[in-house]
Amino acid sequence: MILQQRNMATLKEIQLRLRSVQNIGKITKSMKMIAQTKMTKAQRLMEVARIYGETSNEFFTHAETTASEVKAPLAIAISSDRGLCGSIHSSVTKAIKAYLKTAPETSIIVLGLKCKAQLNRDNKELIALHFESVAKNQPNWTEAANVADSILKLGKEFDGVSIFYNKFKSVIAFETTRLPVYTVGTIEASR
């Protein structure tokens, strides 16, 4: 007769654990496939939309547009509502905080809950407006127009606007970017 020692798994328990690990592996594999599909779709949509942004940047470069002195600046932070990659959200927050050191009277508008939560800690009084669930599916003109309309309805005059966002480089790399938005007067004064 074979006596089982204490804390030793039986053959049946080992087989159950192996089957469990294999099932978890199958679930993980299917989750990776779903994530890859979503990522491919998002990249495809981003590449189509990127053309419009690059075109406007080329216009300002060709017109030799330069910002004038800014007395009432506005910073717009763009992040997401959810996600587990903290560096994506915190890099935008760090860029905004660095900008606030040079222009402490800046008003902030936040798109996305993650960046709002981070900026609320130190700069709650500067947040003029925030949005959530913007561009949850595919970004479109209507949502962008609604955001712009809400900003205009604030009743404040801003003479300089900076948009802070993460520019996609690859699946594992991004670059936090500050994009200046010029006023009508600045554009008219340029070449």
State the pLDDT confidence band at 20, using cuts at 50, 70 and 90: very high
Given a contact cutoff of 8 angstroms between Cβ atoms, the answer to whether 79 and 99 are in contact is no
Q: How large a percentage of the chain has pLDDT more than 70?
A: 95
**What is the chain's alpha carbon radius of gyration, rounded to the nearest angstrom?**
24
Record the pTM.
0.75
Q: Among 111, 119, 72, 126, which Cα is nearest to 95's?
A: 119
Reported as a single tens digit per residue, the pLDDT across 160-177 is: 888 898 888 887 788 888
Residues 6+ apart with CB under 8 A from 161: 73, 74, 75, 76, 180, 181, 183
**pLDDT reported for residue 4:** 55
Q: How large a percentage of the chain has pLDDT more than 90?
A: 18
Separation in Å, CA 120 to CA 30, 141, 157, 158:
37, 28, 23, 21
Residue with the bigger pLDDT between 97 and 171: it is: 97
Pairwise CA distance, residues 89 & 186, whole Å? 31
Degrees to nearest 5, angle at CA 39 with 33 and 42 = 145
Residue with the bigger pLDDT between 185 and 97: it is: 97
Residue with the bigger pLDDT between 113 and 21: it is: 21
**pLDDT reported for residue 50:** 78
Pairwise CA distance, residues 29 & 100, whole Å? 44
**pLDDT reported for residue 84:** 66
Residue with the bigger pLDDT between 117 and 85: it is: 117
